Copies of this chain bind each other. A is one copy, B any other.
Amino acid sequence: MQRTSLGYALLGLLQENPASGYDVRKIFSATSMKSYSDSPGAIYPALARLEKQGLVRGKIEQGSGLRRRQLFHVTPKGLGELKKWICRPITRDDLVARQPEIVLRFAFCDKAAGPAASVEFLHSLRSALAPYIDSLHQEMESMGKLMPTSARLAFEGGIRGAEGFLTWTNDAIATYEKLGFAKQSTKGSAS
């Protein structure tokens, strides 16, 4: 039984702070997570699915004069699934079709899996990005100059985006190093 990108986004949010469906809708519509739909027809069924799978649990709040309102929090099982999603090695497919998801996974990484996992994540990302960028350059060469200007520029834009992503990755790794988190080696002497 597989979860969707929305499902994981919800897990990640709820793991940072328990929230109601309505809260989540506001977050999606107000912040830069707008890429997810804030429609009730998406959110509420998704939360219900997660609850049915035992990944989140909702408690109905009832202070004195409060409206009915379900606060969802992530279960240990849910946290486990979230970690598995975050810590998957980055694949070429992730880069081609799911770049925003990569960034989201990383955003949740510190809180859900810890800084060591974040560093691991960044190294995995760097390892995937380098050959990907190479293959983009090759594809560009093989197409020659026969394409319209706008098509060529668009392709170049894609390459630049990937290169910028790599630069960011390296900077992020450096940031963790300054904080005292180096890559965990298999032999294990870190910090």
Contacts and interface: CB of A to CB of B under 8 A. Distances in A.
A160 interface: yes
- Tallying the copies of this chain within the complex gives 2
Interface of A: 31-32, 34-35, 93, 96-97, 103-104, 106-111, 115, 118, 136, 139, 148-151, 153-158, 160-161, 164-165, 168, 172, 175-176, 179
Which 6 pairs of residues, A with B, have the shortest CB-CB distance?
A110-B148, A107-B154, A110-B150, A164-B164, A34-B96, A107-B151
30 contacts: A31-B139, A32-B136, A32-B155, A32-B158, A34-B93, A34-B97, A35-B96, A103-B154, A103-B157, A103-B158, A106-B150, A106-B153, A107-B151, A108-B151, A110-B148, A111-B148, A115-B149, A115-B150, A149-B175, A149-B176, A153-B168, A153-B172, A153-B175, A157-B165, A157-B168, A160-B164, A160-B168, A161-B161, A161-B164, A161-B168
Contacts of A115: 149-150
Contacts of A156: 168
A148 B115 CA distance: 9
